[in-house]
Structure formats: structure tokens, C-alpha cells
Structure 1
């Protein structure tokens, strides 16, 4: 190879490495007890926004249920576990006061329009491309540190896919209590 080609190849390899290092870690998997937490992510927020959602998949490989009961995120004044669902054509969102059960042998997906965690009273916006650290608290697995890969505003998947105008619905939680607040 010529000196120019070698330099060009080295520069491109370095640039690719830097791009990969600065990209959010989308394939992250965290193990805590019998739980496996995969691909934690969030969406960028516009300046002045006071709330954001956190999403991921949680698999319980054990023989006993566990429960996501809370968490924390340094940029948020409050952290809550929520459910969003549509009943009689009306989308509602409510905190799950008793947490979210992760049944044995099952995977529960937290996603837009369904179960999710809420970062409330944000102190500063979440920026596309950054990674933010937080904690999840489980009844049995305890406190687990996770890193949320921040995707573009409007993303509906961890890869940053845009909103289609229609969010995907979540599972019924079995609880029929109304109330709560609407929207995100």
C-alpha cells in the first residue's frame, strides 16, 4: 500500500471507532439475580420538557415472580413505573402503585404506548446520542444500575425509528382502576 492509502485506511478506521464509541449502547444486557434487562433506551426531550420515558425488555429466568417497584435517575426529581393503555377509545396513563410484575419465565417489554418508566421533574433535557445512567429497583433482585441510550425525539424503537402516528398498545394489567393522567 502507498503511504496515502495506509494513512487513509488508518484515518477511516479511527473515525469508525470514534463513531462507535460515541453511539449509544443499544445492545446492553444487564443481569440481576434471575432478571435480564435488555436495551434500556429513552427519547430526547425538547428544552423545557419536564418528563421523559424509559423503555427496555425485562426477562425473568427464575421460578418466582419479581416486581419493578421504582428507580432513580439523577436528572429527574421523581421516577415512577407507569402503564399506558387505551380503554373505550381513550388513551390513559397511570402510575402502577404496586409496581410491575415480571412473571417467571416471561419477558415484559416496556415501550412507548405501554408499560414504561417515567422520569419526572427533569432538571435538564435528554439529548439524542447521549447515554444516561439510572437505577431500577426490584422487589427481589434489588437495585440495578442501567444506562439508557437516548434516541431521537419521536423514536418508537431502540434503533431510533420514527413515530408512525400510532403507538403500539400494551398488555392489560388486570387492574381496572381509572384515573391517572393522560398522554405523555
Structure 2
């Protein structure tokens, strides 16, 4: 009887450790504080912002949303007192370190909007993240639309004349 119990305990322990490994595999990238700047009628573009944290070295490759015909990852930077802004191919997500997408750095541009993004609405976003092994992860989130006055970077978010 004792060896039967010991065998069951070992099987249970193995099963629990396998469940733990499965949890670690599925919890690759966490998204927090996701929000989108609300727009006024006729505004062609807006920005999406959030914090990303990956369990392993990864990169944000792309973002999609049904509210915009074009979605790009952009970076704003200052060099020699000149603000530069433009599209980037990806954003590095170092293992265990939070990476902030905000109006003054990396951010997501939603361009050619299909409708006004109203304050309080939820904006669906699909993020594609790839880890160092080449494994891709699809993350679906809903970002809350916040008022234009949330941060005073409204003029920086008009990328309609960018090439």
C-alpha cells in the first residue's frame, strides 16, 4: 500500500510540474495600461499607448485594429533640438523589463480611421510579438479611449503629412 501511495504522489507532483511549465509557456508577454487617444469628428489618426513586458527577449512586430486602415509602430525622438518621428520595423522587448509605448517615444499610430474614436469606447488591438526563438504570439486587447486632454501631445499625434 505504501509504494502505491508513493507512486501516486510522484505522478501528482509530475502532473503539477507539467501544468506549471505549460503556464510559463503561455504567459509570454503581458500588456498593461493600454489606452487610445479619443478623437474629434474627421480626425484622420490617433495614437495607442501601453506597457509591454515579455518573459523572454522578444520584439513587437506589428499591430492591427479594425478602427484604422493603416496601423504602424512609430518612434518619436529628439536630436539636436529637432523632433523626429517615423515608422520603425519593431520594438525590442528585453526579458523581464517593462517597455512603455507613450506619446514621447515608441507608440502605435492608428491612421485612416474608419470612424471617430469616442472617449470611453473600447478599441480592439491585435499585437504580434516574436521571441528570440522565432515563436510568434498573438495578443488581443481592448484599449480604452481617453479624452484629448489626457496628455498634452495632441499636435505630435497628427502623422497625416508624414512620408
**TM-score for both structures, normalised by structure 1:** 0.65
Find the aligned partners of 1:120 and 1:33 in 2 and give their Cα distance: 30
Distance, in Å, in 2 between the alignment partners of 1:122 and 1:36 is 26
- Specify which structure has the higher proportion of strand: 2
Match of 2:34 among 34, 40, 61: 40
Residue 61 of structure 1 and its aligned partner are, at CA, apart by 2.5
Whichever of the two has the greater Rg, that structure is 2
Aligned-pair CA distance for 1:59: 1.0
Question: In 2, are the aligned partners of 1:52 and 1:120 still within 8 Å (CA)?
Answer: yes
Q: Which sections of structure 2, spanning at least 5 residues, go unmatched? A: 1-25
Change in 2 beyond 3 A, CA 1:152/1:143: same
Which deviations, in whole Å up to 9, do the C-alpha atoms of 1:43-70 show, x marking residues without a partner? 11111111111100001223xx111111
Q: 1:132 aligns with which of 112, 123, 127?
A: 123
Q: Is the 8 A contact 2:53 2:99 kept in 1?
A: yes
Alpha-carbon distance, 1:144 to partner = 0.8
Residue equivalent to 1:83: 75
RMSD: 2.3
Q: In structure 2, how many angstroms separate the alpha carbons of the residues matched to 1:104 and 1:42? A: 25
Give, in angstroms, the shift of residue 181 of structure 1.
3.7
In structure 1, C-alpha distance between the alignment counterparts of 2:59 and 2:138, rounded to whole Å: 12
Over 2 Å off, 4+ runs: none
Q: How does 1:31-110 map to 2 (within 5 A)?
A: 33-62=27-56, 65-97=57-89, 99-110=90-101
Q: In proportion to residue count, which structure has more helix?
A: 2
User: How far apart, in 1, do the equivalents of 2:153 and 2:35 lie?
Assistant: 18
Alignment partner of 1:116: what SS?
strand
Aligned residues: 130
Q: Deviations over 1:104-123 (max 9, x none)?
A: 12110001111111111111
Retained in 1: the 8 A contact 2:103–2:153? no
Question: What secondary structure sits across from 1:79 in the alignment?
Answer: strand
Q: Secondary structure at the residue paired with 1:139?
A: strand
- Aligned-residue offset at 1:164: 8.1
Query: Normalized against structure 2, the TM-score is what?
Result: 0.72
